[in-house]
Amino acid sequence: MNHEHIESDSRTVFGFFTYLMTDIVLFAALFATYAVLRANTFGGPGSDELFDLPFALLETLLLLFSSLAAAVSLLAARKGSIVGVIISLSATFALGGAFLLLELSEFAKLVAMGAGPSRSAFLSSYFTLVGTHGLHIFIGLVWVAALMAAVAVRGLTRSTMRRLALFTLFWHFLDIIWIFIFTIVYLFGTVL
């Protein structure tokens, strides 16, 4: 593994990290919008009626465990264990997928009870904020599935190792965003 490749991969990791920082700014804008429009329920249901805290806690734990599983995949990759990588990435996928299914079921339930995104400004901003996060999760799941296939077929090459690192950064970042969704949307929502 020559020095040029290391330099190039370093730059890629740094560049991707910078992109994640801009994604944080995107979410900040969505958070700001949600915070401003929280109380604009237009006569419809508010956060105290709609959000189930234990359910949100379950989602939080799923994502946290998923983040840990992704980290384990890096440690397995460092040891050169393809099997270890596939197993831990499968766990990452399963936990993240469970999170997404729970979230989609919550969205479906809200829409069915007439509390969809078009009901009020509060609900529009809620669906946009949480939905955008969910979309990122979905893209991450597609990514990790592709990564698992790449590692299974080509093994732990410099390319797959680099992509593992980038995915793990992405996945940790999504968990960090979720911390704030859990706090600002669900914790605040059931209290105020």
Closer CB to other proteins, 138 or 188, in the complex? 188
Site for other proteins in 75-104 (CB under 8 A): 75, 77-78, 80
Q: Is position 150 an interface residue for other proteins (rule: CB under 8 A)? A: no
Structure tokens at 156: 């732990």
Check residue 143 for interaction with other proteins (CB under 8 A).
Answer: no
Q: Which two tokens stand for residue 54?
A: 């234990």
15 CB-contact burial (10 Å; exposed 0-12 / middle 13-18 / buried 19+): exposed
User: What are the tokens at 170?
Assistant: 């992405």
User: Does 36 participate in binding other proteins (rule CB under 8 A)?
Assistant: yes
**End-to-end Cα separation, the chain, in angstroms:** 56
Contact between 179 and other proteins by CB under 8 A: the answer reads yes
Q: In residues, how long is the chain? A: 192
Which burial class, exposed, middle or buried, applies to 55 when counting CB atoms under 10 A from its CB (0-12, 13-18, 19+)?
Answer: middle
Question: Of 132, 140, 54, 55, which is closest to residue 93 (Cα–Cα)?
Answer: 140
| Distance of alpha carbon 99 from alpha carbon 73, whole angstroms | 19
Selected range binding other proteins among 9-17, 86-94, 97-105, 111-119, rule: CB under 8 A: 9-17
**Shortest Å, Cβ 65 to other proteins:** 8
| Residue 25 touching other proteins (CB under 8 A) | yes
The three-class DSSP label of residue 117 is coil
Shortest distance, position 93 Cβ to other proteins, whole Å: 18
Q: Which residues bind other proteins (CB under 8 A)?
A: 1, 5-6, 9-10, 12-14, 17-18, 21-22, 24-25, 28-29, 31-33, 35-36, 53, 57, 60-61, 64, 67-68, 71-72, 74-75, 77-78, 80, 154-159, 161-162, 165, 169, 172-173, 175-176, 179-180, 182-184, 187-188, 190-192
